[in-house]
Amino acid sequence: MGDNTAVTKRARALVVGILLAALVAIAIGPAASQGPPEDGEHERTVTVMTRNLYLGASLSPLFEAETPNELLKAVDEVWRQVLATNFPERAGALADEIADHRPDLVGLQEVTLWRSGPITTTEQYVEEVEFDFLDILLDALADRGLAYDPVASVNLLDEQLDNPLTGRALRMTDRGVVLARADVRTADLKLANPQSGTFTTSLELPLVDETISVPRGWTSVDAKVRGKQFRFLNTHLEAFEPEVRFPQATELLAGPADTDLPVVLVGDVNSPGPPGHTPGKTYELLTDAGFVDAWTLDQPGADGFTCCHDPDLMNDEPTLGLRIDVALFRGPFDVAGTAIVGADPAERTASGLWPSDHAGAITTLFIPPDRPSGRAAPGR
């Protein structure tokens, strides 16, 4: 593994920025839509994006290992795939997607921090940064003249595996992050009240002679677009076990989504939505709770698949067959436009990598004036 021990200024600024986000409003400009609404209120729009960045490798070999030696081989296999899927290169393609659509708010999942270091006798976590996906993506955006700030973040799975043969350890930290545009006027959109949390229900997986918990969670920020408020909520629900995923969605509805504010919910919900597939139980739970699927409203009959490309990201043609990355809303919104990114072979990197194993979803919403939200609930 490479040795990248320098902590960048942006990494330090992330901590400060998240702490200050509750006190300082962030200015965001009007989003582009696919056409002005009929009543001419075209400026009160917001464009949102959901993007799963991909850890860089499938972790399945780790949980399939049956002996310590098999686990060591699996760690090497995972790390080789992380290197091969080359996030610095993929970050350029992801940044191009954002540059093309200029979303005001971006919900990111699998914003991975890979670290390494020498094994210690005190069982300390290693801290030498190998790849910080957030830092790398922000650098790629800055290279394109784009200013985005992380305004909410949550740490999820944080697991370290030691290799006594090499004396080194590899550590993976999964995170969810909300990014916001930081390059336009305060009058257009203001942000406040960043929040984050993890679900009490989580998947338990065997790892040779122990069991680890795989936490999932959410991040949110409250937004005001020209006087109209809503909550932007980003989540990543459990991928492998529906009986864990459904309670997590129930927690989401009873927690950050339980508000008087209109809500825009984006994320990788890991429960398929129509068309092209029978709706999943968790997806139906969300829509039964009053959430509207922007994609099916805007493009009825279009599949809009977002998952999944091959783990090595080198498949020549798209292998997407499920729509699990969604933008849902509850409250006084109209859909001005939707799009899928990362599903066209032309969007691959120069070496042939897809930007992620998921495609991303872009949604532009119009907030009509003087229309009630249609829901009353205890505020939070």
DSSP string, 31-93: PP-SS--TTS-TTSEEEEEEEE---SS--HHHHH--SHHHHHHHHHHHHHHHHHT-HHHHHHH
Instruction: Please report which confidence band the pLDDT of residue 379 belongs to, taking 50, 70 and 90 as the band edges.
Output: very low
Residue found under tokens 């999942």: 109
Fold assignment, 26-35+43-366: Deoxyribonuclease I; Chain A (3.60.10)
What does each C-alpha distance from 33 to 42, 138, 145 come to in angstroms? 8, 24, 21
* Short-list 375, 354, 347, CA closest to 261: 375
- Alpha-carbon span 282 to 271, nearest angstrom: 6
Q: What is the pLDDT of residue 246?
A: 98
Q: What is the pLDDT of residue 43?
A: 61
* Short-list 309, 312, 311, 301, CA closest to 344: 309
Instruction: Show the tokens assigned to 51.
Output: 């993007």
Q: What is the pLDDT of residue 278?
A: 87
Instruction: Show the tokens assigned to 304.
Output: 């809009």
Q: What is the pLDDT of residue 180?
A: 96
Q: In this structure, are residues 350 and 89 in contact, taking their beta carbons and an 8 Å threshold?
A: yes
The answer, yes or no, to whether residue 6 has pLDDT greater than 60, is no
The answer, yes or no, to whether residue 269 has pLDDT greater than 60, is yes
Instruction: Please report which confidence band the pLDDT of residue 370 belongs to, taking 50, 70 and 90 as the band edges.
Output: low
The answer, yes or no, to whether residue 373 has pLDDT greater than 50, is no
Question: Average pLDDT for residues 298-308, to the nearest whole number?
Answer: 95
Instruction: Show the tokens assigned to 80.
Output: 């080789």
Q: What angle do CA 212, 150, 192 make, to 5 degrees?
A: 110
At 192-210, the pLDDT tens digits run: 999 999 999 999 999 998 9
Q: What is the pLDDT of residue 186?
A: 62
Instruction: Tell me the percentage of the chain whose pLDDT exceeds 90.
Output: 77
- For the CA atoms of the chain, what is the radius of gyration? 20
**Cis before 307? omega within 30:** no
Instruction: Please report which confidence band the pLDDT of residue 277 belongs to, taking 50, 70 and 90 as the band edges.
Output: confident
The answer, yes or no, to whether residue 4 has pLDDT greater than 50, is no
Residues belonging to the chain: 380
- Ranges assigned E (strand) in the chain: 45-52, 105-109, 113-118, 128-132, 148-163, 168-181, 189-198, 203-207, 210-214, 217-225, 228-236, 263-268, 292-293, 325-330, 334-341, 360-366
Instruction: Tell me the percentage of the chain whose pLDDT exceeds 70.
Output: 85
Q: In this structure, are residues 72 and 55 in contact, taking their beta carbons and an 8 Å threshold?
A: no
**Cis before 275? omega within 30:** yes
Instruction: Show the tokens assigned to 362.
Output: 């872009």
pTM across the whole model: 0.86
